[in-house]
Chains A and B, each alone.
Chain A
Amino acid sequence: MLMEDKNTDADKSIQGDGPPEDKVNQEQTVTLLGEFLSWLRKKAVRKDMAHISKRTLRVLIIVLAVSALVAAVFYGVPLLDEMVPVKAPDITSDPGLNKSREYKSETYRISRDIQHLERKYNSYTSGQSYIVINTTDNKFYLYRNKKLIREGFCSSGSYTLLKTETDRKWIFKTPKGKYWVRGKTTNPVWKRPDWSFVEEGLPIPPKDDNSRYEYGVLGDYALSIGDGYLIHGTIYKRFLGMPVTHGCVRLNDDDLKVIFNTLSVGSKVYIF
């Protein structure tokens, strides 16, 4: 663009004054100058480009080399480790061996062990009614004679750690493992523990104060599984399927009724 402007200025001056030879010379000079300038610019651009591409190439090579090294260390070497030959004899089925006395006695011994172990393992599987509680998905599964008879949603511990300024702590989580029904109650009454007052910013009343007793909040039935944990009903049915309790297992009224009638004292409760 600049060049064109210059040329135009030159043309104007040529048209203005001076003899025709001078005009030709001037024209040639201007053209040569223009070409020279354009060549210089191109060269400079090329030089810049070459410099940039050289640097980019160098960076690219370094990046590739580092990636190759990382891949070799993270993936190549473990792959090599897996190629280390592992000693393993060929598996055979030798009819001669089957006839040997040692083989027969060994086979008999191991078969007997298997039968014994099978019997022992099956004896652990409860034939009675039991309930399985999944605290991750907040679901329950009720079994009778090893058959699933009911499943549904429940609510389990919220995994909240309640702390006071005086450093008293309570963790609201449902315990996991094997438990059993220790007691069954109809129309249970909730005796509010200390944390339920602390949680609401209320002063803690004396042990048997009337304010500790709440009626109708645990549903129609409750099954105790020990350590103060209960399987009970709830007035917060919209929270079923969510981890919102203080450690107890909450169920809806229909499920609770079936479970209460199916499980007896001593029935197993498996919580995971």
Chain B
Amino acid sequence: MENEQKKIETGKKSRWILPAAMVAAVLIYYSVMNIIGTTRALDQIYSNFNPEKNAKTYADSAVFTDSAYLVLLKQKAWLQSKTLMAETDSIYLMINLDDSIADLAINGVVVHSSPIIRYRLGSIFKRGNDAILYTMMSTPLSIVSSRSTIRKEPLMIKMAPKDTSEYQPDVIPDTTHTQPVNFILNMKEGIRICFYQGDPVLPRNRLARFWFDFRLRATDAWAAIKRIAVLKVPDYHPYIKLYVSRGDNRIIYRAIPRNGQVTVLL
């Protein structure tokens, strides 16, 4: 009788072991594939933007580790990128992490400056090879898609009245702007620039920021799972997370064109 009881209890326990082991194995596989994906993406960036490729002599390649030379390279990359964007008539964004300022500019004229409250960088931007990063940033980054908590163009559809009896004057718009503003810009180069609402916010706004970030992570995880399921390595997006005030976030998101350009001074 006791033996039977024990057998039942052991059976109940072992019922959980197999699924738990399977979940753990899948999780490990998922993690390993993600790490491979990250490594490959970083290698890709390194091979695409390595300035040492064109170095002819030892001195040529050694300059890329020299602090004085790197300062010049950084300055040149920033100016080169800004100049390329200024040649167009469209609105562009210049993110200066040294001064914690995000500037919107048109044709070389800064039209709006937004202070960056704080920022977080992906590992490549924090610990990567400076010469490679400056080379990468010497050309503007192009936006391919974006995602936001507000609409880019708050278009309202109005049907024309058939005659004067149907005519109704426009309602005065609500300009109180209490909606939380968070958005991300996905760049052609695989980089992701996230703008989060960083000013002292209501708990509601904090929650909105958390959900926005959570949904983004969920989307990424789902995309990774889909790739892993067909034995492909998931994509990795080096990120720059900027915390900017709600008003400035709204201005930047509404001003920057859908396929606009961005440059970053790291």
Interface residues of chain A, those whose CB is within 8 Å of chain B, are 69, 72-78, 80-84, 86-94, 97-98, 100-103, 106-107, 110-111, 113-114, 117-118, 120-126, 130, 132, 134-138, 158-165, 171, 173, 176-178, 198-202, 239, 241-244, 268, 270, 272
Q: How far is the CB of A50 from chain B (nearest CB, A)?
A: 16
Q: How far is the CB of B220 from chain A (nearest CB, A)?
A: 8
Interface residues of chain B, those whose CB is within 8 Å of chain A, are 23, 27, 30-31, 34-35, 37-39, 42, 46, 57, 59-60, 62-70, 72-73, 75-76, 79-80, 82-83, 86, 89-91, 104, 106-109, 111-112, 122-124, 127-130, 153-167, 170, 172-173, 175, 214, 217-218, 220-221, 236, 247, 250-251, 254-255, 257
Complex contact B251–A137 (CB within 8 A): yes
CB pairs A–B below 8 angstroms (12 shown)? A74-B214, A81-B38, A97-B59, A102-B63, A121-B82, A126-B109, A158-B170, A160-B157, A160-B170, A177-B89, A200-B164, A268-B109
Query: Taking CB as reference atom, which chain B residue is nearest A202?
Result: B164
Known contacts A84-B39, A91-B130, A103-B59; A134 and B251 CB within 8 A of each other: yes
Contact of B160 among A75, A123, A164 (CB under 8 A): A164
Known contacts A113-B76, A121-B82; A74 and B254 CB within 8 A of each other: no
Complex contact A100–B75 (CB within 8 A): no
B contact residues around A178 at 8 Å (CB): 89, 106-107
Complex contact A272–B106 (CB within 8 A): yes
Count of CB-CB pairs between chains A and B under 8 Å: 215
Complex contact A120–B83 (CB within 8 A): yes
Known contacts A82-B122, A200-B167; A117 and B160 CB within 8 A of each other: no
Q: How far is the CB of B132 from chain A (nearest CB, A)?
A: 9
Complex contact B73–A110 (CB within 8 A): yes
Known contacts A77-B30, A106-B60, A161-B156; A84 and B35 CB within 8 A of each other: yes
Complex contact A272–B91 (CB within 8 A): yes
Complex contact A270–B162 (CB within 8 A): no
Alpha-carbon gap, A254 to B82, bound state (A): 36
Contact of B79 among A93, A117, A177 (CB under 8 A): A117
Which 6 pairs show the lowest CB-CB distances between chains A and B?
A124-B108, A201-B161, A102-B59, A117-B79, A272-B255, A74-B217
Alpha-carbon gap, A159 to B154, bound state (A): 6
Query: Taking CB as reference atom, which chain B residue is nearest A94?
Result: B66
Known contacts A94-B66, A125-B108, A178-B107; A117 and B83 CB within 8 A of each other: yes
Alpha-carbon gap, A33 to B28, bound state (A): 61
**Knowing that A158-B170, A200-B167 are A-B contacts, what are 14 other residue pairs whose CB atoms are under 8 Å apart, sorted by A's residue number?**
A84-B35, A91-B65, A91-B70, A94-B66, A106-B59, A107-B72, A111-B72, A126-B109, A134-B112, A136-B254, A138-B175, A173-B153, A198-B160, A201-B164
Alpha-carbon gap, A73 to B34, bound state (A): 10
